Amino acid sequence: MSGPSTLHGALMDNVYRYQRHIYDATRHNYLLGRDRLIADLAPPPGGTVLEIGCGTGRNLIALAKRYPNAQFFGIDISAEMLKTANMSIARHGVYDLIKLAQADALRLDPRDLFSRSDFDRIFFSYTLSMIPDWTGALSRAASLLKPGGRLQVVDFGACEDMPIYFRRLLYWWLARFHVEPRLDLGLAMRGLAASPEKVRLETLYRGYAVAGVLTA
Ligand SMILES: C[S@@+](CC[C@H](N)C(=O)[O-])C[C@H]1O[C@@H](n2cnc3c(N)ncnc32)[C@H](O)[C@@H]1O
């Protein structure tokens, strides 16, 4: 990788170099909606699933155990996170079902990485909020869907049904880790869809999280 990717990759490595060791244990309580996405994903038998920004591999491992007939792929810009993901996947005995590669969501070419050009399911779990050009990443992902495939997102929401002080505190704290909730997620997803009804957006946990689904 070169140019801006290298800078962002270095930033992500700095964020996660030590955090990765406690990531799965500490994120359980506040990256809400991930298990809901996993249950909802339901790839077709023999289908292909790509996670963009797979981190420690936590979601891919759960998916491989739940849908052992599908094939799973993960990319992440952080070499540090991928070290943990590779170890964790081996420890859980699902190494044959999951392939990982280091890549930037914005320059993702799955033909180079995995010898595949499209996927039945592609998802971002708490990743778009860490990608500066998040609409570019979303657009790149949408272009890699098979006809009838689905792009799914879960991330921090607008906290619309929460006290304003909670939202201010949460957003201040997230910014310290280079996380910025994407309040225009629905707009961006609808802009990529063939028609508005191809996008479903749901507010979760009083707006703490948001889940979006775009069907190709
Ligand atoms: C908050 S973690 C989420 C990890 C995982 N998806 C989860 O649900 O636990 C965000 C991940 O996105 C990755 N990331 C950030 N920017 C990226 C980019 N431009 N391309 C690929 N991965 C990226 C980070 O390295 C990190 O592993």
pLDDT in tens, 144-184: 999 999 999 999 999 999 999 999 999 999 999 999 999 99
Minimal-distance CA residue to ligand 1 atom 11: 53
| Selected residue with higher pLDDT from 74 and 26 | 74
Ligand 1 centroid from CA 53, angstroms: 3
205 pLDDT exceeds 90? yes
pLDDT of residue 5: 67
Ligand 1 centroid from CA 56, angstroms: 9
- Distance (Å, rounded) from C-alpha 122 to C-alpha 77? 16
CA angle 148, 140, 16 (to 5 degrees): 115
129 touches ligand 1 (CB under 6 Å): no
81 touches ligand 1 (CB under 6 Å): yes
138 touches ligand 1 (CB under 6 Å): no
List CB contacts of 91: < 8 A, sequence separation 6 or more: none
Phi, psi for residue 178 in degrees, rounded to 5: 65, 35
- Residue (of 95, 67, 81) closest to 125 by Cα position: 81
2 pLDDT exceeds 90? no
| Range from 27-41, 49-63, 80-94, 118-132 carrying the lowest mean pLDDT | 27-41
pLDDT of residue 1: 56
- Distance (Å, rounded) from C-alpha 75 to C-alpha 100? 6
**HSE (CB half, 13 Å, CA atoms) of 81?**
27
Ligand 1 centroid from CA 54, angstroms: 6
Ligand 1 centroid from CA 126, angstroms: 7
Distances (CA, A) of 42 to 13, 39, 169, 172: 31, 7, 35, 35
29 pLDDT exceeds 90? no
31 touches ligand 1 (CB under 6 Å): yes
141 pLDDT exceeds 60? yes
Query: For the whole model, what pTM was predicted?
Result: 0.95
Minimal-distance CA residue to ligand 1 atom 8: 125
* Tally of residues, the chain: 216
List CB contacts of 186: < 8 A, sequence separation 6 or more: 199, 201, 210, 212
pLDDT of residue 8: 93
Question: Over pLDDT 90: what percentage of the chain?
Answer: 90
* 24 Cα nearest atom in ligand 1: 9
**69-112 per-position pLDDT tens digit:** 999 999 999 999 999 999 999 999 999 999 999 999 999 999 99
How many Cβ atoms sit within 10 Å of the Cβ of residue 75? 21
- Residue among 130, 134, 178 whose CB has most ligand 1 atoms within 8 A, to mutate: 130
80 touches ligand 1 (CB under 6 Å): no
